[in-house]
Structure formats: structure tokens, C-alpha cells
Structure 1
Amino acid sequence: MKMMKRLGSVLVVVLLLAACTTTLRVASDFDKEGNFKSYKTYNFYDKGLEKLAVNGLDKKRMMAAVDAEMLAKGFTKADKPDLFVNLIVVKRERTDVYANGFGGPWGWRGGWGWGWGPGWGGGMYNVDRYEEGTFIIDFLDPKTKMHVWHGRGSGFNLDNFKNREERIAVGVKEILAQYPPQSN
């Protein structure tokens, strides 16, 4: 019986950790009157790149990922493009607390105070603090100077450096998968 409880506790911890692995939550919006078939060329919006709040390595990775996706969609990079691509990263502090469910034979005893024996064990908690980022990719029409498409992916752990290049590429791909928009 004790073994089943422990296995159950371990299973709960594994499921909680699996459920809490960060995946991007993507969404997009667009100009309902935009003619997206007319856009064939792109380039990055220089003023936006100057303000991009990430390190130089991540800026390079994001630009390379956007280049790869735009080329895959049939776009050509040009000096005088049909679309400007503006990149933005918004950061916020995130704290996740996980209860592992492991208690011991100690803890608060109803009406009897602290002690040993069966009761409500204290358990242990893991606290994970990190910066969470939201990647925003905007498409701007240089002729009208207006936004025509806005995509974002939120939930990127900016403090995790493991497989960072691949994670950025996958994140950009997930965001740009929503372009061109499907009109109703």
C-alpha cells in the first residue's frame, strides 16, 4: 500500500512537471481589408531592430528564423520591400511553485501539535523563477505606414539556454504558421 502511494505521488509530480513545460501560446490578428496576396518581398524594420530588447545572439537567431520562414512562404528579401517585419520581445518575471506531494511522518497533527506519526505531512515545494518572454512579429506596409498583420507567441523561458537556437526557430515557425491569415 505504501509503495502504491509513493508511486502515485511520483506519477503526480511527473504529470505536473510535464504539464508545466513551457510551450508557446500563439495568436494573430490582421487587417481585414488587407490584400495579403500582393505582398511578395520583405525586410526588417531597422528602427524596430534597434529597440529589440534581447542580446545580439538572440537577435541574430530571431532574424535567421524569420528569414527561413519567409523564404519558405515564397517571400524574397528586398531593399524596397512590400512588407517590413518588426520584431519585439516583451519580458516579465514568472514564478512557478510545484508541490511534490512528498510528506514525511512528521507534520501538524490535528489537535495535538507537531509530532511523529500519521498526520498531515508538510511536503516539499519547488520554486522556479525565470523571465518569460512574448515574441511579437508585426508586418507593416511601407506604403500605408500601417500594421497589416500581428502575431505573437507567449510563454518563452528566456533564462533557459538549452537548445535555444532550435526553440527560437520553432517559436517563430509557430507564430508565422498563422500567416497569411485565413479570411472568414
Structure 2
Amino acid sequence: MKRIFLILMPALLLLLAACSTTRVVDREPADGFSLSSYKTFNFYEVSASGDSTVPDAAYRQGVTMLQREIARQLTLHGLHQAANPDLEVNIGLVLQEKVQTRQTDIREAPRYVGQRRYSWKSEEIEVGRYKEGTATIHLVDRAQNKMVWRGVVEDVVSPKASRREAQVTAAVAELFKDIR
């Protein structure tokens, strides 16, 4: 029994890792971009605008989590945070509520007896609602005031606060995985 468990456990872990909803939409470095050319970084001031149904505290918490994780990734790449940086980080954050639907099929049609003009058509049925978050990260060369790298990542936002921190960590790590 123990041997079967040891054999199946790696396969189960690979299957769970494949179920991640994090998706890197885009990574776009400028021509000649090298992160090793920079020594310091800092963040632009982030402000909310537009039609927002997200409470300001929740928005700030999301931005803070992103900033903390981006700072960690840039530090791992040899940069350090400074008041007068070489590289500035701009964060764009969009949160959208989405509706999950499924389409009915003929097997779900009610059975009628004796009606000649009965018609049935397929329709979309709502089965759930969820929030999808998109984070856009711009790295800007401060001396040239020019964007030198852009990355976009999307994920379904967990309703559990404890899970969101892990999602942000995984999403930013995935986004910065191949940056050089």
C-alpha cells in the first residue's frame, strides 16, 4: 500500500500543478533590455480610477501584495529598492466579475404529451460568478523615461484572503521567471 502511494503521489502533484489558473498573457522586453543593467528600483504611486465596485481597502491590499512580491522578485535578480531608482515599476490592476455559464441540451427538455406546437431551444444557464484579476507590470527606465519591459498576468481571484496571497506570489513568480 505504501509503495502504491509513493508511486501515485508524484503523478497527483503534477496533476494539481497543471490545474493552476494563472496565465501569463504577455512578456515583452524592449530591444536590448537587460535587467542586470539596473541596480535600483522603486514603484510609481498607484491610484484607483474609473468605475470601481471594489472597496478602496481591498484594492490597496491587492496593490500592496503585488508590490511586495515584485520587490521580492527584483531583489532576487540583484536589484534593491531606492528613493532615486534606475528603474521604476508601474502597476495596473483590473478586477472583473465574470459569469460562468453552461449550455442546455435536448436531454434536459421537458417531456410534453399532446401538444403539437411545442418548441425547445438551447440556452445559456448561469452556474456561478467569479472575479478575474489582470495585473500589468511596466518597468520604466527612469533616465530615458521609456518602458523597457512589460508583463501581463491573469488569474481567477480566490474569495479566500489566505489563498490570494499565495496566488499573487505564484503569478508574479511565473511572470518574472524568464526575465533577464
TM-score for the superposition, normalised by structure 1: 0.66
Which segment drifts farther, 166-175 or 139-148?
166-175
- Deviation, 1:176, is 1.4
Q: In 2 relative to 1, CA 41–50 (structure 1 residues): closer, same or farther, beyond 3 Å?
A: same
Q: CA RMSD in A?
A: 3.5
The equivalent residue for 2:160 is 161
Cα distance in 1, alignment partners of residues 104 and 159 from structure 2? 22
Unaligned ranges ≥5, structure 1: 1-18, 115-119
Residue 133 (structure 1) aligned with residue 133 (structure 2): yes
In 2: Cα distance, 1:57 partner to 1:94 partner: 21
Equivalent residue pairs, number: 151
Distance across 2 between alignment mates of 1:25 and 1:108: 46
Alignment of 1:1-184 (within 5 A): 22-46=21-45, 49-51=46-48, 55-98=59-102, 107-108=110-111, 127-154=127-154, 156-158=155-157, 160-162=159-161, 163-180=163-180
Q: CA deviation at 1:132?
A: 1.7
Structure 1 position 90, deviation (Å)? 2.2
Percent identity of equivalent pairs: 25
Q: Structure 2: 5+ residue runs without aligned partners?
A: 1-17, 50-55
Q: Deviations over 1:87-124 (max 9, x none)?
A: 111233322214698x67x7347x9669xxxxx9x9x9
- Tell me the amino acid that sits aligned with residue 26 of structure 2: A
Q: What TM-score, normalized to structure 2?
A: 0.67
Residue 167 of structure 2 aligns to a residue whose secondary structure is: helix
